[in-house]
Structure 1
Amino acid sequence: MNTANRTLPLAARADSLVGSVIDSSTSLLAAQTHDVVRFAMGSPAAEAIPTEALAAIGVEAIGAGRADAFDYAATEGDPALREALLAMLEGTSDATTSDRLTITAGGMQGLDLACKIFIDPGDLVVVESPTYTNGSATALSYQAELLEAPVDTEGLIVSRMAEMVEATGRTPKAIYTVPTFQNPSGTTMTLQRRHELLELARSWGSMIIDDDPYGLLRFSGTAVPTLHELADGDPLVFSVRTFSKMVAPGLRVGWVDTAPSLQQLIINAKQAMDTCTNLPAQRLLAGFLTSGGLEEHLQTQRAQYRRRKQAMQEALQEHFGDSARWTDPDGGFFLWVTFDESVDTEALFEIALAEGVAYIPGNAFSPSKRFPNALRLCFASTNPDRTREGVARLAAAVRRLQDRS
């Protein structure tokens, strides 16, 4: 029987599964045989992951001699990690209680849980523009209709968002925001705008999906209270957090902080996904937290990331001082670089890769592709010397692109 041309019975949502340009870059870069400076993935540098500390506590923390060391875990999270996480958050802007916490398989599962629970096909969801492409892709996978609201140096322009929502004649089911050291722009939403956002969400009855992976990676400036803290228990705020940026992305451990009334629903939804988050990884993190290793690690990394950001900005000034502009974040991982309209960063990408530098084009961060002359650079993953080399290669690529036109 010839089955080559058989039509598969795909679900209607299949067309909405757009994937991630960011995640796909991992496979693309692995296939390269020449030296490439990697500004693409938003991940800590290999040397920034506390490998030795994790290895030193590994066997004991995991409990390798225990019969349950590699068993299933409770869906809401292993008690050891939950207790250690509550202690870690005490006194911070994300301080919370046990009945609000659910451990997840990284921040992405938190976003998926939020969309799975709240988004119906056709619902209006506001996303920042530019926005984290995996966040918008998750909403699209549940067949949301996206409304892109602009971002400036003070974060989401809440007043403009309100005008855009009013023009649709509908209220959004959810608002997706990365309020602190935003991915990809690096900007932070001001305190005033956070209050305005909460007021609007309450008036509309809209969920705020508060995605904040970078908040503890502030290396300058004055801290702003999280949406979680400002909401003061309001069930409309669904907070998503992760250890991927702070400790190690490969562990795939994060958490969500929600109204206690949602916890059983979250557990039900998670049990239909993966039953539980990886138990050895949870116990490894619990051991790292209780050993006191996290705070020392964060202090070291904050200093490193500040130096790395400054090195990237200095290199950009040297090579693009008169032809581009970029953001100046107080923390996190990213710079958002905007060229004049003659530089198409998607067309530039292959040239840049051949020159030995990788980035993510701006259009990847907008479902409607609003940023053809912008790109995102991750400064966290490369040391200053390597960064200077990468920016020089990017400048060479831009010259080649312009020579073609």
Structure 2
Amino acid sequence: MSTTHKQINFLRGWPSPGLLPTHLLSSACQRVLANQDEYTEMQEYGSCHGLTRLRKGLANWIGPHYGVTPDPERICITGGASQNLVCILQCFSDVNYTRAVWVVAPCYHLGCGIFEDSGFAGRLHAVPEDDEGIDLPIFDRKLQEFEKQDKEKRDQKVMHPADIVYNEYRKLYRHLIYTVPTCSNPSGLTMSLGRREGLVKLARKYDALIISDDVYDLLQWPLAAPVTQDRQAELRLPRLCDIDLSMGLSDDDPHGFGHAVSNASFSKLSGPSVRTGWAEASPVFISGLARTASTRSGGAPSQLCAAMLAEVVENGQLQRFVDETVRPTLQRRHRLMMDAIHTYLLPLGARTRVSSLNGYEIFGGYFVWLELGSESSTKFIADVLKTEENIIVGHGNLFVVHGDERSAIFDNSIRLSFSWEAEQDIEDGIRRIGQLISRMNRNREHYLQLASTSNMS
């Protein structure tokens, strides 16, 4: 069946044009480039730690948000969360020493490839989550079983010289853990405080580094109340790196590298094109990360964009834009989608999470994770939606962990983004999804036959 419907893309996790502070960045760029002494410095290579102004500005913004003392020495500027993930792997892992990568599932679908490109293909393992986040008892059992099976391999020679395994700027970790603990992509779930503390303790027990994708922390809102600058405690849960630092040195980490790093980005705050982010961890870890060879060769990532961002962070313009424009807009878009889901999909057997944090009336991020309750796989439904309704969604098994697909399967789920499409198209798109599911229910034999004779299933 061909379609002339307008395309609606619920897969695209991009900020809509109204969520971009273009006018702020334009003015900031003009100010930065107006002074020759300043722009000459900005257009040179720069410190490996990144622009000091932005590091200080971030420390003064982020520190009070999380209730920690602002400390620029815990921060380095990066080229964005994806680029910095590569730098973290280059500095703190080794394919012959680091035994496994543990990924909370469902997972960010483009993250697995970064680990695979870094030599960890076939060594990614899925860890399930429940309503509070990562399932710690299951994870602990998986780690114990892995350690027993891996015992005979522990004496393999590492690729790097022996003094790089643990020196002033480097510590190789035996395990890596990748998670999006706040408003997870794709599930929308926020990990509870208890699970965060338990995860850090496990990381210390098994010599693991938690790489925490913290790109949605500042993009949360109450479900019913108006968005304000003041945020209740449940919107400011401590990051894993802060919990780790509060526990002091672990027995196997006398230099104080720690067991968690926050990998954050401006992509959802000021637009993906700035290609700028920041990492926050212990000062020792940050010093090592800043000395990534590619950074030492090329200088601070995103130097000019960092100067623009420093302008709008120092004067508070970006913070106000996030609180007065981005968060209320996302709150409204999320409400539009949820109202449409309740109207058109829940009566058909679909289920979804109302709150991102169990027990609290809050949400955040870009995505709704929906269980359709259909006898057809959501891969098939996604293909039919594209063909018959011109609607693009992320089917559940797009978000499995590469190489460990059978450990966590999501045949019945889809991810819907409410950040990109025009607001008037959100309800229309959900309505059309409901129409297709109703059509499939009425014409069950036709679609079963289609699934069996096509490459859609």
Taking a change above 3 Å as real, the CA distance of residues 263 and 228 of structure 1, as seen in their structure-2 partners, is closer
Say which of 45, 48, 51 aligns to 1:75.
48
Q: Distance in 2 between matches of 1:40 and 1:274?
A: 34
- Counterpart of 1:57 in structure 2 is 28
Matched-pair contact (CA < 8 Å) for 2:245–2:282: no
Please give the per-residue CA displacement for 1:358-403, whole angstroms capped at 9, x wherever unaligned.
2222112112441122111111223542210111222344455564
Q: Secondary structure at 1:219's aligned position in 2?
A: strand
Helix, strand or coil: the match of 1:280?
helix
Identity of aligned residues (%): 26
Task: Give matches, 1:6-405, under 5 Å.
Answer: 35-63=6-34, 65=36, 66-93=39-66, 96-121=70-95, 123-144=99-120, 145-169=123-147, 173-220=175-222, 222-223=234-235, 224-232=237-245, 235-269=258-292, 270-271=294-295, 275-300=299-324, 301-321=326-346, 322-328=348-354, 329=356, 330-354=363-387, 355-366=389-400, 367=402, 368-369=404-405, 370-399=409-438, 403=443, 404-405=447-448
Q: Distance in 2 between matches of 1:182 and 1:229?
A: 19
On the 8 A contact 2:280/2:286 being kept in 1, the answer is: no
Deviation for aligned residue 1:95: 5.1
Question: What code does the residue aligned with 1:148 have?
Answer: A
Superimposed CA distance per residue, residues 126-163 of structure 1 (whole angstroms, 9 cap, x where no aligned partner): 11010112333222222331121111221111122112
Separation of aligned partners in 2, 1:113 and 1:399: 48
Bigger-Rg structure (1/2):
2
- Distance in 1 between the 2:285 and 2:238 partners? 23
1:23 paired residue number: none
* Paired amino acid for 1:292: G
Greater alpha carbon shift after TM alignment, 169-178 vs 185-194: 169-178
**Contact in 2 for aligned 1:324/1:337 (Cα 8 Å):** yes
Structure 2 gaps of 5+ residues are 151-173, 223-231, 249-257, 357-362, 449-457
Asked if structure 2 preserves the Cα contact closer than 8 Å seen for 1:62 and 1:280, the reply is no
Distance 1:338 1:62 in 2: 50
SS at match of 1:133: coil
SS at match of 1:232: helix
Q: Is the 8 A contact 1:119 1:142 kept in 2?
A: no
Q: Scaled by the length of structure 1, what TM-score is found?
A: 0.85
Which runs of 5 or more residues in structure 1 are unaligned? 1-31
Number of corresponding residues? 374
CA distance in 2, matches of 1:345, 1:266: 40
Secondary structure of 1:54 counterpart: helix
- Segment drifting more, 328-337 vs 159-168: 159-168
RMSD: 2.5
The DSSP-based 3-state class of the residue aligned with 2:270 is: coil
Distance change (3 Å), C-alpha of 1:226 and 1:264? closer
Partner secondary structure for residue 368 of structure 2 = strand
Q: CA deviation at 1:68?
A: 4.1
8 Å contact 2:295–2:301 — kept in the other structure? no
Q: Partner amino acid for 2:50? A: G
SS in 2 for 1:271: helix
Shift of 1:188: 0.7
Please give the alpha-carbon distance, in whole angstroms, between the structure 2 residues aligned to 1:323 and 1:339. Answer: 6
Q: CA offset at residue 252 of structure 1?
A: 0.9
Query: CA–CA distance in 1 between the matches of 2:21 and 2:312?
Result: 10
Q: In structure 2, do the counterparts of structure 1 residues 124 and 39 end up closer, same or farther at CA, with 3 Å as the change threshold?
A: same
The one-letter amino acid paired with 1:162 is D
Q: Deviations over 1:22-78 (max 9, x none)?
A: xxxxxxxxxx99732222122221111111222223211344744345333323212
Equivalence for 1:9? none
Q: Partners of 1:56 and 1:362 in 2: how far apart?
A: 42
| Counterpart in the other structure of 2:169 | none
The amino acid of 1:247's aligned partner reads: S
Give distance in 1, aligned partners of 2:181 and 2:77: 21
Letter in 2 for 1:228: C
On the 8 A contact 2:64/2:70 being kept in 1, the answer is no
